[in-house]
């Protein structure tokens, strides 16, 4: 029998064999009465009996080719019989009245673009050499074909707003109103599924639950991964685009770094045929994510899994058939298990590569080093065993370098986060660190935050041309001077942090004295004792409200156990940023001495030093206020200024303590 409508219509050649009712009954007597009548028919539609939502392929009962519920048959209505052979070939036969138009041909009016072979078979072509991409990734694109995502903006907006009115046919028809190519048809279907279908966690965990029917998915707008893949394939076929469902292993929800894979497959995704080549996508992972703590699904669109480059797709998707890797050479399961897993956000946020390329790192002399290369400046942070400690992270214009010093021997979990163009840090990498030696000489301050050292970010925040470009500063006498340029309108604040117990915020700043000369800020630092300290740098725009923002810190190291520097004098709010203190720099003055003072003060009428008595300071030709003060009979000494000659109110700008010993 042959059915033809026109040159573009589907052509079907078949041999129809009809058995008598008696023969059918005789055959039925030899069949298992409990057997599934579709048990010998394999089709793409869902998995059953496998954890994480994957099921063995089985026939879906009660649905026509397009997922619409079959109505109760009437004598004059056509009957639809659908079957699949073990090659995946679909055969649909309609039995209809002689004077009726075959509905099968009507329904395939949308599908006239399906390309059959020379014999008219509609079986999707198996992937071959021309579908394969080179491995490893060549960094050319995240996609398997050239795409300008801006061209989809109008279509994406339209497709995401389409609602289900009746069945799958009408939904696809509505989606295709704004789609004018196979690529746009696939895109419209992808966007709709990713924005409307929720991952059903309970269904994924119920091994014996029947596979989802498209009608059920449309009604509940929930499904598991085989339901996503089956729905996507069905909608593509209605739209006239070749599509297959690919089962396999995945590094998804519940994956543990370094785990092995065996037994039944745990995931399913799709391949679509566009512009003469197969391409991969995963609408399950494109729709959102599952919170590992709460096991709740959240819609969070992920562009990464749409037509992903196969060399990137293989990082978390291993198909049952190596041909569906679309790679040359294909990867083995052992390689899949051992290869570094870069999360989708690694690439979404502009990362290119990471070293080491294995998920398990062994320390060398108590240290593990990780570097990341990115295509643009990016902010990073890390957590070792859930805390931002025991590491030095320095930013680079094209990535970052991280040195980790585990505090104990054993196994440690390292997570690396990146910010990219968003305001949120996302996890991009996870390593397992095995440490068999701890360097007790490398104990970093707990308050040493990230990043360490100046970088492109500090320049962006208004701090330029630092005197010390390296993140670590060694001092033999416990003193150092750090300077950098500061952009106009930027205020700088610094504080010193060690691990010698709780100290007040005031004390943290008293070991730093800040000077400002010719658009450069100088930080004079005196360490209270030997050890390692974090020197934190904060900035703030003077004219804007709000708090200072942390920019970076230095690691200051001093091994001299004789170091015992006092604090600097305490400064008050009226101490101007452009003021300069030459002497005395020590905040503790000797008792019963005449102490010289020399300062550069701007915009004041008079200056004096007050102890037991009051001593005026005079302005010399070089612009410095000079004088001396006796510390006899007093415990504190203040420097005071009169800003307006017409007023008699003096302001405190500096405070010294007098040593009582």
Catalytic residues: 225, 267, 282
- Please give the sequence-ordered ranges of beta strands (E in DSSP) within 498-635, or none if there are none: 512-517, 520-526, 531-541, 549-558, 570-571, 580-583, 588-589, 594-600, 606-610, 614-619, 625-630
Say if CB 11 and CB 120 are below 8 A apart. Answer: yes
Shortest CA distance to 167 belongs to which of 103, 100, 234? 234
Terminal Cα-to-Cα distance of the chain (whole angstroms): 115
Structure tokens at 600: 């550069």
What are the φ/ψ torsions at residue 187 (nearest 5 degrees)? -60, -45
Give the chain's length. 661
Could you tell me the CA-to-CA distances from 7 to 10, 109, 111, 120 in Å, in that order?
Answer: 8, 12, 13, 12
Q: How far apart are alpha carbons 494 and 514 in whole angstroms?
A: 8
* 538, burial (CB in 10 Å: exposed 0-12, middle 13-18, buried 19+): middle
- CA distances (Å), 643 to each of 6, 565, 628, in order? 97, 33, 21
Residue 300 backbone phi and psi in degrees, to 5: -150, 95
Residue among 621, 576, 584, 622 at smallest CA distance from 603: 576
Strands 317-319 and 243-250: antiparallel
Measure the CA–CA gap between 416 and 431, rounded to whole angstroms.
8
Element (H, E) at 456: helix 456-460
In three-state secondary structure terms, 95 is strand
User: Cis (ω within 30 of 0) for the bond into 451?
Assistant: yes
* In contact, 540 and 517? CB cutoff 8 Å: no
Tell me how far CA of residue 610 lies from CA of 352, 431, 596, 627, in angstroms. 62, 60, 13, 12
Which tokens belong to 121? 């078979």
Q: Residue 370's beta-bridge partner residues?
A: 402
β-pairing, 614-619 vs 625-630, is antiparallel
> Which single residue is written with the structure tokens 């396999």?
248
3-state secondary structure of 285: helix
Token pair belonging to 623 = 């612009």
């Amino acid at each position: 029998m042959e059915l033809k409508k026109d040159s573009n219509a589907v052509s079907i050649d078949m041999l129809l064999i009809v058995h008598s009712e008696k023969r059918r009954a005789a055959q039925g007597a030899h069949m298992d009465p409990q057997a599934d009548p579709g048990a010998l028919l394999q089709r793409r539609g869902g998995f059953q009996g496998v954890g994480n939502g994957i099921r063995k392929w089985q026939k879906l009962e009660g649905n026509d080719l397009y997922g619409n519920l079959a109505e109760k048959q009437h004598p004059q209505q056509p009957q639809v019989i659908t079957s699949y052979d073990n090659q995946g070939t679909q055969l649909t036969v309609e039995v209809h009245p002689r004077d009726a138009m075959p509905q099968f041909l009507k329904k395939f009016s949308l599908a006239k673009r399906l390309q059959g072979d020379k014999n008219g078979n509609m079986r999707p072509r198996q992937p071959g050499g021309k579908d394969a991409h080179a491995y490893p990734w060549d960094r050319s694109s995240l996609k398997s074909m050239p795409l300008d995502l801006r061209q989809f903006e109008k279509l994406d907006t339209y497709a995401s707003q389409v609602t289900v009115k009746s069945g799958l046919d009408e939904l696809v028809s509505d989606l295709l109103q704004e789609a004018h190519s196979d690529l746009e048809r696939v895109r419209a279907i992808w966007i709709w599924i990713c924005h409307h279908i929720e991952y059903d966690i309970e269904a994924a965990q119920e091994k014996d639950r029947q596979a989802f029917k498209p009608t059920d998915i449309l009604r509940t707008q929930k499904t598991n991964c085989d339901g996503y893949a089956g729905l996507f394939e069905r909608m593509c076929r209605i739209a006239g685009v070749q599509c297959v469902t690919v089962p396999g292993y995945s590094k998804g929800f519940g994956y543990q770094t370094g785990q092995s894979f065996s037994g039944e497959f745990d995931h399913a995704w799709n391949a679509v045929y566009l512009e003469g080549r197969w391409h991969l996508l995963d609408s399950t992972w494109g729709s959102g994510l599952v919170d590992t703590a709460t096991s709740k699904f959240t819609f969070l669109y992920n562009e990464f899994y749409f037509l992903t480059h196969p060399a990137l797709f293989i990082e978390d998707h291993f198909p049952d058939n190596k041909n569906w890797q679309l790679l040359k050479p294909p990867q083995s399961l052992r390689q899949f298990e051992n290869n570094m897993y870069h999360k989708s956000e690694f690439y979404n946020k502009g990362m290119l590569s990471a070293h080491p390329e294995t998920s398990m790192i062994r320390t060398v002399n108590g240290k593990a080093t990780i570097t990341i290369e990115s295509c643009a400046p990016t902010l990073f942070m890390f957590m070792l065993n859930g805390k931002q400690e025991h590491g030095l992270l320095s930013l680079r214009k094209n990535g970052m370098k991280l040195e980790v010093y585990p505090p104990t021997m054993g196994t440690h979990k390292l997570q690396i986060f990146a910010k990219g163009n968003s305001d949120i840090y996302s996890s991009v990498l996870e390593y397992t660190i095995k440490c068999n030696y701890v360097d007790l000489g490398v104990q970093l301050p707990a308050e040493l935050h990230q990043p360490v050292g100046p970088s492109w970010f500090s320049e962006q925040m208004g701090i330029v041309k630092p005197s010390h470009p390296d993140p670590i500063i060694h001092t033999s006498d416990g003193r150092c001077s750090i300077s950098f340029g500061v952009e106009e309108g930027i205020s700088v604040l610094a504080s010193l942090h060690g691990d010698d117990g709780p100290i007040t915020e005031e004390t943290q700043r008293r070991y730093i004295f800040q000077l400002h000369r010719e658009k450069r800020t100088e930080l004079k630092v005196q360490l209270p004792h030997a050890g390692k300290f974090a020197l934190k740098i904060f900035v703030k725009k003077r004219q804007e409200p709000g708090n200072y923002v942390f920019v970076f810190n230095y690691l200051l190291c001093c091994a001299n156990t004789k170091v015992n520097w006092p604090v600097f004098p305490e400064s008050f709010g009226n101490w101007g940023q452009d003021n300069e203190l030459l002497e005395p720099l020590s905040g503790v003055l000797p008792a019963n001495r005449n102490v010289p003072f020399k300062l550069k003060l701007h915009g004041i009428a008079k200056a004096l030093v007050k102890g037991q008595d009051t001593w005026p300071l005079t302005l010399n030709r070089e612009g410095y206020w000079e004088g001396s003060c006796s510390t006899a009979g007093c415990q504190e000494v203040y420097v005071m200024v009169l800003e307006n000659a017409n007023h008699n109110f003096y302001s405190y700008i500096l405070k010294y303590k007098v040593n009582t010993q």
